[in-house]
Each structure stands twice: as structure tokens, then as C-alpha cells.
Amino acid sequence: MGRQAKCDGWRSTRTVSAWWCVGAGTKAVLGLFAALALASCSTVPSPAPGPSATQVRDEVVRRIPPTVDDRMGWASDIRVAFEAQRIEASVENICATLAVIEQESGYRANPEVPNLPRIARGEIDRRAAAIHIPKLLVDAGLKVKGGDGRSYGEQLARVRSERDLSELYEEIIGRVPMGQRLFAGKNPVQTGGAMQVSIPFAQANAQNYPYPVARSIRDEVFTRRGGVYFGIAHLLDYQTPYMQKVHRFADYNAGRYASRNAAFQSAVSSLTGVSLALDGDLLVPDAPIDKPGQTELAVRRLAPRLGMDEREIRRALAQSDRLDFSGSALHSQVFAMADARAGKAVPRALIPGIRLDSPKITRELTTEWFANRVDSRYRQCLQR
């Protein structure tokens, strides 16, 4: 049985055993032991230094297919991106990066897009029709001569890459009144570079960009160094709860934590009987509390079992774009109930069921297709 003890002028505020009270002699002995312990700690070897810049670069070169031009240049840009963002240059991270580059661009910093003039003109006509701009006016706007003396229509007919198109749109928006109205002051080219990274993402994550910016972050995305830097940031510069890389690859295509969120949607669907699109979107952006999306509405059906009201559910779902959601009470309780219902642990990550939609895509593709293709390339890289 413990008791409250008084020890050398201070009083314990908790019940302790008598042996916690020590005298001066005992303190001296303990002090000697402490000194010995500190001395022994000082002999613990320091952690081994990480690989040098040259070693990292050489490892990247070794993992790049031998048919790729300028492997040393690619490796140097990748090494700098890892170092600047303090991302571990492990074989797994190197191969994940190379797999995405190979899938998205085939190791081309500014890849050409087949039939881009036709695709771009179709997008212009679609936007014009949506805001009731007559085709005659569109044609007239494209006859305006640009800075190089050629009409915008002539320049449009010769674009080959997203960088070409982005630069043309920037000029049209800046110099042609119709351009401001047609594009609402916003360049329609929203992805680019060797890893097809989102330009708004790059612009929002440029604070530690290690290179001088000559014109804009948008322009940097279309360079090899910029496309690699921001692509690696999007792919690897965040923690996930995943056990398999394929879910990180799916997130690269569908948005961060989309695979975790799709599994959450699946668990909610199994508990409520509500059929949900497993797209990883748990909240409708800016939805009023009285007009929730389908996933949020389904979660509300579980409110009595969760012991949560509508606003608590909304606050929890608002974390779905962060790692924190994995440790939230809502996430934990939903999966505990889903596990109990299934009699086993249900998946904590699922590849979202999203059909890819872009003017550049000419056949039916999905996030699952993308993730599996990248994962296959990743595994091939690991074996090199």
C-alpha cells in the first residue's frame, strides 16, 4: 500500500511507495550512476550520414531506362528537387518519381500533344458558345496579329505543346478584349511539364523553389527542372497512411488522400446501404449545411450511432484533405462499425473510381488505369 511521502523539503502530491524518498548518501550514489549513464550515452555512434549528392545522382541515373536522352541531366534535376524539399532519396521514392515521369511524358520536359490545334480550337468554340459569343466574333479575334506578326489563328494552328498553348493564351488574354471575356482572365492550360503537375498547385507551393524565376512559376512548370520539382512535391511531399504505393499514384491523379477517402465512402455505403460514388470527395465545396453532398448525407444517417450532430460531422469531413482525418473520431468509428459488420478489417484505401476527363484524352481512361500503369513502371524500376 502506498502512502503520501515527504522527501527533502518537498511534499509529493500523489501516493508513492516509501522507497522514492532518498537521502543525501543515496543521492550521491544515484548521481554517480547518472554520470556513468551520460558517459555511456556519449559513446553511442552518430547516425550514418546519408548518401552524397553524387551518390544520389548516380543512383537515379542507374534507374532511368538506358534509352532516355540526357539521363545525367534528369538525375541532377531530380536530386536537387529531393534535397530542396528534404525528401528522402530512397530507391522507392526515386522509382516512384521516375514511374510518373515515364507515364506522363516519356521523359520529355515539354511533351507534344497530338492534334493540339484542333483540341484547342474546339475548346475555344465551346467556351464561346457557353457565354454566347458568336463564332464570327471568335474568328475575328483570331485574325488579330500577335507580337510576332502572325495572327493568333495562325499561331494556334502551329502549337505543339502545352507550353506553346499556354504562352499563346497568355498573349490573347493580355491583348485581345475577347480573350478576357472568353477565358475570364484565367489561362485554360492548368497542367504541364514532365510530370503533368497542376499549375495552381505549383504556384501555391513555390516558396522554397531553389531556382531563379525568370518570368513566372507557370513558365517554370514547363521546364524540366520546374516540372520535376513541383511534380515530386505533389507526389511525395506529404504523409499518407497507405501500405501500397499504388494508392499514392492514384492520389497523384485524383487528389491527395483520395484513395483513403474512397475507402471511407465504401465503409459508409456498406453501413447505410446508400450507393456512393467512390471518388474520394467527401464534401461538396462551399455546400450550405442544409444542402450536403451525397457522402455527407449518408454519414448523417449514422449520426445516432456516432454520437455526433450535423456540424460535428461537417467539421470532421472538412479534414478529409489532410492526414489528420485518418485519426479523427469519425474515421475511427465508421471503420470500427464497418469492420464489425464485415467480420474482418475492411480496406482502408481504395483506388477511386474516376473517369478521366480532358480534351487531350481521346479514349475512356480511369484513375485505376493510371495508377496501375504507374505502379507497373514503378515495379520495373525497382528491378533495374
Residues 156-171: tens digit of each pLDDT: 999 999 999 999 988 8
Q: Is the separation of the CB atoms in 107 and 157 below 8 Å? A: no
Q: Which residue segment(s) compose the domain that 260 sits in?
A: 242-384
Q: Is the same domain home to 63 and 205?
A: yes
Decide if 306 is inside a domain.
Answer: yes
The residue-averaged pLDDT of 352-368 equals 77
203, 237, 271 — which closes off a domain? 237
Give residue 99's pLDDT band: very low, low, confident or very high (50, 70, 90): very high
Q: Is 184 exposed, middle or buried (0-12, 13-18, 19+ CB in 10 A)?
A: exposed
Q: What angle do CA 378, 382, 383 make, to 5 degrees?
A: 120
Q: What is the pLDDT of residues 313-325, one digit of tens each?
A: 999 999 999 999 9
Give residue 144's pLDDT band: very low, low, confident or very high (50, 70, 90): confident
Q: Is the same domain home to 278 and 369?
A: yes
C-alpha cell at 50: 546519408
Decide if 285 is inside a domain.
Answer: yes
Q: Which of 1-10, 192-201, 287-296 has the lowest mean pLDDT?
A: 1-10
Q: Is the same domain home to 277 and 338?
A: yes
Q: Is the separation of the CB atoms in 141 and 179 below 8 Å? A: yes
Q: Is the same domain home to 203 and 316?
A: no
What is the number of domains present in the chain? 3
State the average pLDDT for the chain. 86
User: Cα–Cα distance between 355 and 2 in angstroms, integer?
Assistant: 66
* Better-predicted residue by pLDDT, 77 or 40: 77
Q: Is the same domain home to 282 and 254?
A: yes
Decide if 312 is inside a domain.
Answer: yes
Decide if 24 is inside a domain.
Answer: no
Q: Is the same domain home to 79 and 127?
A: no
Q: Is the separation of the CB atoms in 218 and 164 below 8 Å? A: no
The residue-averaged pLDDT of 79-108 equals 97
Q: Is the same domain home to 259 and 329?
A: yes
pLDDT of residue 273 exceeding 50, the answer is: yes
The pLDDT of residue 220 is 97
Decide if 366 is inside a domain.
Answer: yes
Q: Is the same domain home to 276 and 368?
A: yes
Rg (the chain; Cα; Å): 28
Measured CA to CA in angstroms, residue 101 lies from 27, 94, 108, 376 at distances of 63, 11, 8, 13
Share of the chain above pLDDT 90, in %: 64
Q: Is the same domain home to 262 and 164?
A: no
Q: Which of 79-83, 144-148, 361-365 has the lowest mean pLDDT?
A: 361-365
Beta bridge partners of 6: 11
Where helices occur in the chain by DSSP H, the ranges are: 24-42, 53-63, 71-84, 91-105, 116-130, 135-142, 152-156, 162-175, 177-183, 199-204, 217-221, 224-236, 245-254, 258-272, 294-300, 303-306, 310-317, 329-342, 367-382
Q: Is the same domain home to 187 and 199?
A: no
Q: What angle do CA 302, 305, 307 make, to 5 degrees?
A: 100
User: Cα–Cα distance between 230 and 218 in angstroms, integer?
Assistant: 11
Q: What angle do CA 200, 279, 245 make, to 5 degrees?
A: 75
Q: Is the same domain home to 327 and 347?
A: yes
* Better-predicted residue by pLDDT, 380 or 8: 380
Measured CA to CA in angstroms, residue 29 lies from 25, 26, 34 at distances of 7, 5, 9
Q: Is the same domain home to 181 and 287?
A: no
